[in-house]
A = this chain, B = another copy of it.
């Protein structure tokens, strides 16, 4: 068994209202950065999985991303192989 590191990025689907992103955008504008737009706030999850090979590990992480880490109705989940932490 080998330990693999992954990162999962969970973002709100385009078109859905993102009040947290709007709040961050307003704060950036208030600090003088007026050239910023389309701020969207999501989640970043880092984890480690023990598996026989990277393909098995990735398949498991994809399933965890869909079943627990994101709500597929309103969110997209992207799985990246991460640097070992």
Task: Please measure, in the bound complex, the distance between the C-alpha atom of A28 and the C-alpha atom of B67, giving whole angstroms.
Answer: 10
Contact flags (1/0) for A40-67 with B, using CB distance below 8 Å? 1111111111110000000010001001
A39 adjacent to B44 (CB under 8 Å): no
Pairwise interchain contact B47-A39, C-beta atoms closer than 8 A: yes
Tell me the number of copies of this protein.
2
Are B38 and A48 closer than 8 Å at their CB atoms? yes
Interface size class of A (residues with CB under 8 A): 35 or more
Q: Is the interface of A mostly helix, strand, loop or mixed?
A: strand
A36 and B1 CA atoms in complex are apart in Å by: 12
Within 8 A of B (CB), among A6-47: 7, 9-11, 14, 21, 24-25, 27-28, 31, 33, 35-47
> What 5 new A-B contacts, CB under 8 Å, besides A37-B48, A40-B45?
A24-B69, A35-B51, A36-B47, A36-B64, A41-B46
